[in-house]
Amino acid sequence: MKKISIFFVFVFMGAMQFTAIAQATADERAQYIASAKESNARCISCHGHKKFTLTDEAGNTVLRKLYQELFIDTVAYYSSNHYAFGCTDCHSSEYEAFPHALALKFEVKPGCMDCHEGDEAVKKFKFELINEEFLKSMHSSRHNEEFSCWSCHSPHYYKINARDENKTISSTIQYDNAICLSCHGNTQKYQQMNDTILPNLISSHDWLPNQVSHFKSVRCIECHANLSDSVLVQHEILSKDKAIRGCKECHSRDSRLTHSLYRFQRSELRKLGFANSALTDSQFVVGANRNMVLEIAFLFVLVLVFTGIGIHSYFRKKIKTHHE
């Protein structure tokens, strides 16, 4: 009961703190970071290094390697979205005692929804809808409690990418695909979730023409996630038998890409008649960069040409008949 109470206190305090830091100015951000660094100093003295020293009662010391999953890259942490949090905002304050009690390994750690659900400060991110999509995802349905938000988004390093207007499309593609490949390109991590052998991505996509070009130009979720207009980044990952395999979904007038990869840049006003206006800013997608204005103008000119030919033929025939 005590652990559950402590857990909800952490969640409540964390949610309040997130509301404040979400609207922080540059100066306030610097103050938050300084405060967090001071609060976290003792934890980072061990977890900020890949090796640590143990000393027994007799004063003997031994150097040990820290497990990779327990190592915290402080540079990445203090530039992440959770930069202002102290370690004990999410972890029990009992961790301040060292060596750590074994019972702490069983503590319930907060997830995304424990802090973000119903938080007006981050309402625009639609965490509730994202969670609904995730729960329908094959990752959630097949792996249940083994797979959570943290399986893809590290609580220590997560940083908003798709909504960052300073980020390029190529950097977003690289960032998002790296999340997928952290499992699907890593045999050891993949087999922590599956008993099967990691599939070869090249051979499993041998149906896809120009593989290198496609892998560099689109994210995995463009074909492997259910399209949704409710959230910015789709989280309902489909099974491989339901993945998109047709060309026309992207190479068409109303390209799927404008509803997913280019959604944040998409303008409700179509620029100069381009149905997929966002696509024209960065690359050419065969079949998708059609221009409504040019198409209508071409059809109008075509009609005029055939009308002119018809009128010309009519009068030639009439004049010829008159002379005869």
pLDDT above 60 for 11? no
- Stronger pLDDT, 174 or 23, i.e. the higher one: 174
Q: Is this model's pTM higher than 0.75 or not?
A: no
Specify the pLDDT at position 277. Answer: 56
Specify the pLDDT at position 123. Answer: 86
Specify the pLDDT at position 3. Answer: 45
Specify the pLDDT at position 87. Answer: 93
Average pLDDT over residues 47-63: 89
Specify the pLDDT at position 323. Answer: 63
For residues 180 and 220, give the distance between their C-alpha atoms in angstroms, rounded to a whole number.
7
Mean pLDDT of the chain: 82
Instruction: Give the contacts of 207 (CB within 8 A, at least 6 positions apart).
Output: 245
pLDDT above 80 for 49? yes
- Condensed to tens digits (0 to 9), the pLDDT of residues 243-295 reads 999 888 888 877 888 888 877 665 444 454 455 555 555 666 666 666 666 67
Residue 221's nearest CA partner among 159, 117, 139 is 139
Specify the pLDDT at position 274. Answer: 53
Average pLDDT over residues 12-19: 52
Residue 15's nearest CA partner among 103, 140, 120, 171 is 120
Specify the pLDDT at position 20. Answer: 64
303, containing H or E segment: helix 292-323
Average pLDDT over residues 10-27: 60
Contact call for residues 229 and 158 (beta carbons, < 8 A): no
Specify the pLDDT at position 2. Answer: 42
pLDDT over 90 percentage in the chain: 37
Question: What are the Cα distances from residue 42, in Å, to 38, 39, 47, 49, 98?
Answer: 8, 8, 9, 12, 10
- Condensed to tens digits (0 to 9), the pLDDT of residues 195-238 reads 888 999 999 999 999 899 899 989 999 999 998 888 888 999 99
- Condensed to tens digits (0 to 9), the pLDDT of residues 72-125 reads 999 999 999 999 999 999 999 999 888 899 999 888 888 888 888 888 878 888
Of the listed ranges 17-31, 75-89, 178-192, 305-319, the least confidently predicted one is: 17-31
Specify the pLDDT at position 117. Answer: 87
Specify the pLDDT at position 298. Answer: 79
Contact call for residues 288 and 255 (beta carbons, < 8 A): yes
What is the DSSP track for 184-203?
A: HT-HHHHTTT-SSPPPPHHH
pLDDT above 80 for 23? no
